[in-house]
Chain A
């Protein structure tokens, strides 16, 4: 059962930050609540104060500019899924959102809420890592920006201070000749990833040489991680089938997954190997056309 709490619905970011500064560890911030409410109903979390930021319009937007795309933290998954902005190089975000849970969850749940929950199996984190995203935070004493890799500290733990709020996700412009793909392995559609792989490859113009590559793994460690050794296999080299397979092999060694009721750690490692290779081939094909 949910314990009683005091409820605030600040209308501006500043109001929210002031409340957060006041109540700190005694409060929880709610946006869509699709994770938080479940935790509260199970008695795992029982804050005295709840700060509802869902209606803060200054946190709800998808904007494009020369700096790339900026997504407000309180933007719903469904809005991202349906946004006309998510095409070409960013279509991977719409693809990822389409497979995230179910429509009802996506209608109300937010990207910020998802990232702050820091579920190691979460879908957005590896995709945003592959897209070289960074996040912006705010507090009464100022804000920070950091690459999204630095945002995740441990399972269900982020780098947010008790007075900090995640406000924005920034995705830099996608370079030409880039293909990004998200592959999610699960047994039942809509369920959490048993293994998730986001693969982004940028080619030097037309000659099939990898200029840069970012491989991120979900459900393979305590947080989403970059498979940096696997990236090294490809960076600067001419992309071949065998090389992509080797990247998969390498990534498999970098994964440190758990065994649970859905899969053993061994199987997850094998899935990383297979999915990285498949994602790599698809991303390469996309990059050649981009």
Chain B
């Protein structure tokens, strides 16, 4: 018997019926009267000065209604981390210089897409090509061309995290390992590409419908780039086909559509092609890792030193955060008494690298978990034991960095250990590898410099008891509308069906930082819970008066029944009290307000999820090809709110995280991505998808609503590491560069054989 009425239940997602019937309208499905179609002209050069742009022929073409270039902008640069102006380095529509193949230089609005595309061909751009650099190791040398003015050696950002005394600690270690790894890029590959429908009206007001993870960020960034007032811009988030970290920065579709619309006061829709999606948006940050790990012979980890160089691409974007988080999560999920991280991000003339699900942690987990298994083998200790010995525990403090409250890592370890034992003896060439992780539930840093609380919500109770919930949080398919409605219903004591949610419309919803960094369940959830509690309090005042009970009794609502906690059979209907509460307040609508910003929780996150994953592979030792047979995850996400949603996140993450390990890559030739199509970008499909198993454990996170914390991102961290460790168990070879392709396994096996022959 669940102690909760709503949360934890299996419900159909809000918006699901619209999606399965085709009723759901995504941005690219929308049309407005008089709407034009936009297309963007992009640089074919990785690095060049723009000498001149002649748009006259395009402007004269029949059907073309507007053309814009950088000259039509107010000449600002933008970026997400507004507290650091030097990191706001992207014009989007370039004025003087292009810095990667795909950088936008002009945009056209025409009566149809074909006309717009033809018009692009009539725009003449005179470039003076400049020497370009693609490899971060080369980019930070004296000889490399400077990509951004004033940035010496192309070193965009550096980060340092340290506690204890790493150098001294290494002298006390019984065993030290030094290993190098290379983590590749990855495309978000949302099924819906970036798109925006912008409508600038004759009153100087702009409305933008766009596929986004943060309506609020887009509103504010557009304000800065258009020189408008924030309140004159309304960003609406229709059904959205995925984000995964690619859609909370201002993108070329949003900016160009707005600029074009502003020029002629007509709606303009821009939908990026799949090729633009691969080449002219953002991608996961490739990282070069140098790890030094020291331990005592009993397996106690004493010191870890991490040095990373990341390939930044042409602009900062969210890359500074990925740089920081990879350094922070390199210390997860273990207790290191001494730790040092130095990370450098280098500009390169390639597609900018930014946020992608996991945010630097898939990389740090792959390298860290691979090295830890190697250390365990060196010491003759079981991989689970070494993790048990050093794993974080509840109420652990990461020195100077973070306060961890709930932590179910050890229960997860127990579950996975039991599962592996149950599997028993494996057939030849099979191997099971494990990887442990921890991840944040939303970030504490306010580098965006918002004056608002990170999340806010409004709850309005109508005369019929039906509840309108207003939240700035973005539903991108992860189920946040459902989760937040469940939290609201549970807190208020009504049914899930009583909630009608309005989300991510900056015109009517309070600001919320959006759906990224795994923040919405905890942060938006807390705001929703507070708003519901506020509305509930207003109703309860009337209930108490109406029921006239002895002051020693407490009242509560559950399932639309307001009752004495100690005598639940004594109560009144929620519906009756709502009517009276409204009447009793001179007809004033009952509105509850809530907000949340983490305080006094350290520098990273208010709460952390944990887990461990076990992957079983079968390797063909002749060809090096391997099959992902099974990926099982024991996870700690605190109290489960949306059961169906969380299972979807856990299983779904494996497709993406498994792909990171198995096959996904964006190889380049002189800055040109070689596989910008779904035909050529390898991803796991249903026949290659492993069986998945989810093992739940019970924890409670005090900081989260009803004890909940994140579940969407942590799961993308361990899979590549688990795969790498599994391959080692199966056939005794390691591949230290991602993705772990059959060819790499093949070469490693042949090298091992020739070593053994000698």
**Direct A–B contact in the complex, CB atoms closer than 8 angstroms:** yes
**Partner-B contacts on A (CB < 8 A):** 1, 38, 185, 187-191, 261-264, 267, 270-271, 274
A190 near B687: Cβ-Cβ < 8 Å: yes
Across the interface, do A188 and B688 meet the contact criterion of CB distance under 8 Å?
Answer: yes
Q: Distance (Å) between the CB of B740 and the closest chain A CB?
A: 11
Q: In the complex, which residues of chain A have a beta carbon less than 8 angstroms from the beta carbon of B662?
A: 187
Docked complex Cα distance between A275 and B667 (Å): 27
**Measured between alpha carbons, how far is A188 from B674 in the docked complex, in Å?**
18
Q: Are B688 and A261 in contact (CB-based, < 8 A)?
A: no
User: Scoring B residues 252 to 294 as 1 if CB is less than 8 Å from chain A, else 0, what string do you get?
Assistant: 0000000000000000000000000000000000000000000
Chain A residue at smallest Cβ distance from B666: A261
| 0/1 string, B1-21, CB within 8 A of A gives 1 | 000000000000000000000
- Which one, A1, A38, A189, contacts B113 given CB within 8 A? A1
Q: Mark B671-683, 1 if CB is under 8 A from A, else 0.
A: 0001100011011
Determine the residue in chain A with the shortest Cβ distance to B747. A267
User: What are the interface flags for B100-131 relative to A under an 8 Å C-beta threshold, 1 for contact and 0 otherwise?
Assistant: 00000000000001100110000000000000
Q: How far does the alpha carbon of A228 sit from the alpha carbon of B432 in the complex, in Å?
A: 43
Q: A261-B667, A261-B675, A263-B743 are in contact. Are A191 and B682 (CB under 8 A)?
A: yes
Minimum CB–CB distance from B683 to chain A (whole Å) comes to: 7
Which residues from chain B contact A187 at a C-beta distance below 8 Å? 625, 662-663, 682, 741-742
Known: A185-B623, A190-B687. A261 touches B117 (CB 8 A): no
Please judge, given known A-B contacts A1-B113, A263-B743, A267-B746, whether A188 and B625 are in contact too, CB under 8 Å. no
- At the interface, yes or no: B622 with Cβ under 8 Å from chain A? yes
Q: In the complex, given contacts A188-B682, A190-B687, what are 13 additional A-B residue pairs having Cβ atoms less than 8 angstroms apart?
A: A1-B113, A1-B114, A1-B118, A38-B679, A187-B682, A188-B663, A188-B685, A188-B688, A189-B687, A261-B665, A261-B667, A267-B743, A274-B622
Across the two chains, which residue of chain A brings its CB closest to B684? A188
Hey, which chain B residues are within 8 Å of A261, CB to CB?
665, 667, 674-675, 680
| 8 pairs of A and B residues whose beta carbons are closest in the complex | A189-B687, A267-B743, A188-B682, A261-B667, A1-B117, A1-B114, A274-B622, A261-B674
Question: Given A261-B667, A261-B680, do A190 and B685 touch, yes or no (CB 8 Å)?
Answer: yes
> In whole Å, how far is B521's beta carbon from the nearest beta carbon of chain A?
33
Question: Please, which residues of chain A bring their CB within 8 A of the CB of B665?
Answer: 261
Residue of A nearest to B673 (CB): A261
**Contact B685 A189, beta carbon cutoff 8 Å:** yes
B residues in contact (CB < 8 Å) with A: 113-114, 117-118, 622-623, 625, 662-663, 665, 667, 674-675, 679-680, 682-685, 687-688, 741-743, 746-747
The residue in chain B whose Cβ has the minimal distance to the Cβ of A275 is: B623
**Shortest Cβ distance from residue A187 to the other chain B in the assembled complex, whole angstroms:** 6
How far apart are B650's CB and chain A's nearest CB, in angstroms?
23
CA distance A274 to B663 in the complex (A): 22
Within the complex, what minimum Cβ distance (angstroms) separates A173 from chain B? 34
User: Could you list 10 examples of A-B contacts with CB < 8 Å?
Assistant: A1-B113, A1-B117, A187-B663, A187-B741, A188-B663, A188-B684, A188-B685, A262-B682, A264-B743, A267-B743
Most buried by B among A1, A38, A190, A264: A1
A286 vs B667: C-alpha distance when bound (angstroms): 41
A189 touches B623 (CB 8 A): no
Whole-angstrom distance from the CB of A223 to the nearest CB of chain B? 21
Q: In the docked arrangement, what's the CA distance between A250 and B665, Å?
A: 33
A residues less than 8 Å from B674 (CB atoms): 261
- CB closest chain-B residue, reference A264: B743
Q: Closest Cβ of chain B: how far from A200's Cβ, in Å?
A: 22
| Given A1-B117, A261-B680, A189 contacting B688 (CB threshold 8 A) | yes
Give chain A residues whose Cβ lies under 8 Å from the Cβ of B746: 267, 270
Which of A189, A191, A261, A270 has the most B CB atoms < 10 Å from its CB? A261
Q: Please give, as numbers and ranges, the residues of chain A lying within 8 Å of B683 by CB-CB distance.
A: 188
Contacting residues, chain A, for B684 (C-beta < 8 A): 188
What's the nearest-Cβ distance from chain A to residue B283, in Å?
16
Q: Which residues on B sit within 8 Å (CB–CB) of A189?
A: 685, 687-688
Q: Decide: B743 and A185 in contact? CB cutoff 8 A.
A: no
Considering the complex, give the chain A residue whose CB is closest to the CB of B674. Answer: A261
Give the docked Cα–Cα distance between A10 and B685 (Å): 39
Tell me the complex Cα distance, A220–B622, Å: 19
Cα A216 to Cα B34 in complex, Å, equals 58
Please name all residues of chain B whose beta carbon is closer than 8 Å to the beta carbon of A271 when the two chains form the complex: 623
Give the residues in chain A near B623, CB-CB below 8 Å: 185, 270-271, 274
Give B626's nearest chain A residue, CB to CB.
A187
Chain A residue with Cβ nearest B663: A187
Could you say which of A38, A188, A263, A270 has the most chain B C-beta atoms within 10 Å of its C-beta?
A188
Q: In whole angstroms, what is the CA distance A274 to B746 when docked?
A: 12
A205 to chain B, nearest CB (A): 33
The distance in angstroms between the C-alpha atoms of A52 and B642, with both chains bound, is: 52
Quick check: A185 and B625 within 8 Å, CB to CB? yes
* A161 to B: closest C-beta gap in Å: 30
Chain B contacts of A190 at CB under 8 A? 685, 687
- How far in angstroms is the closest Cβ of chain A from B200? 27
CB distance from A175 to the nearest CB of B (A): 31
When chains A and B are docked, how far (Å) is the Cα of A262 from the Cα of B625? 13
List, in ascending order, chain B residues with CB within 8 A of A274's CB.
622-623
In the complex, what distance in Å separates the CA atom of A264 from the CA atom of B625?
A: 15
A189 and B689 CA atoms in complex are apart in Å by 10
State the CA gap A161–B314 with chains docked (Å). 49
Report the separation of the CA atoms of residues A262 and B682 in the bound assembly, to the nearest whole angstrom: 9
Chain A residues whose C-beta falls within 8 Å of the C-beta of B622 in the assembled complex: 274
Min distance, Cβ B620 to any Cβ of chain A, angstroms: 9
Contacts of A191 in B (CB 8 A): 679, 682
Alpha-carbon distance A92/B680, docked complex (angstroms): 27
Residue of A nearest to B744 (CB): A267
Complex: A267 Cα to B684 Cα, angstroms: 22
A239 to chain B, nearest CB (A): 20
Nearest chain B residue, comparing its CB with the CB of A99 = B687
- CB neighbours of A270 from chain B (8 A): 623, 746
**Whole-angstrom CA separation of A261 from B663 in the bound complex:** 11
**Bound Cα distance from A270 to B663, whole angstroms:** 20
* A185, A187, A191: most-surrounded residue (chain B CB, <10 A): A187
Closest to A263 in B: B743
The complex places the Cα of A191 from the Cα of B747 at a distance, in Å, of 23
Closest to A41 in B: B273
Q: Once the chains are docked, how many angstroms separate the CA of A264 from the CA of B746?
A: 12
Task: Report the bound CA distance from A267 to B663 in whole Å.
Answer: 16
Which residues on the A side are within 8 Å of B680 (C-beta)?
Answer: 261
CA gap between A267 and B667 in the complex, in Å: 18
User: What is the CB-to-nearest-CB distance from A65 to chain B, in angstroms, rounded to a whole number?
Assistant: 37
CB of A219, distance to nearest CB on chain B (Å)? 14
Q: Which residues of B lie under 8 Å from residue A262 when comparing CB positions?
A: 682
- When distances are taken between beta carbons in the complex, the residues of chain A under 8 Å from B685 are 188-190
Tell me which residues across on chain B come within 8 A of A38, comparing CB atoms. 679
Cβ–Cβ < 8 Å partners of B675 in chain A? 261
Report the bound CA distance from A264 to B624 in whole Å: 14
Residue ID in chain A nearest B687 by CB atoms: A189
What CA separation (Å) do A236 and B685 show in the bound complex?
44
The minimal Cβ–Cβ distance linking A122 to chain B, given in whole angstroms, is 14
A78 CB, min distance to chain B CBs, angstroms: 17
Instruction: Tell me, in angstroms, the Cα distance from A84 to B188 when the chains sit together.
Output: 43
**In the bound complex, how far is the Cα of B411 from the Cα of A202, in angstroms?**
60
Q: How far is the CA of A264 from the CA of B744 in the complex (A)?
A: 11
Distance to closest chain B CB from A278 (angstroms): 8
Q: Which residues of A contact B688 (CB under 8 A)?
A: 188-189
Q: How far is the CB of A58 from chain B (nearest CB, A)?
A: 33
Complex Cα distance, B743 from A270, in Å, reads: 10
- A262, B741: Cα distance in complex, Å: 9
Taking CB atoms, residues of chain A closer than 8 Å to B118 are 1
Residues of A within 8 A of B679 (CB): 38, 191
B355 to chain A: closest CB distance in Å? Answer: 25
Complex interface: chain B residues within 8 A of A267 (CB) = 743, 746-747
Q: In the complex, what's the smallest C-beta–C-beta distance from A123 to chain B, in angstroms?
A: 15
Q: Complex formed: what's the CA distance from A144 to B674 in Å?
A: 40
**Bound CA span A192–B331, Å:** 41
Residues of B within 8 A of A188 (CB): 663, 682-685, 688
Q: Smallest CB–CB gap between B752 and chain A, Å? A: 15
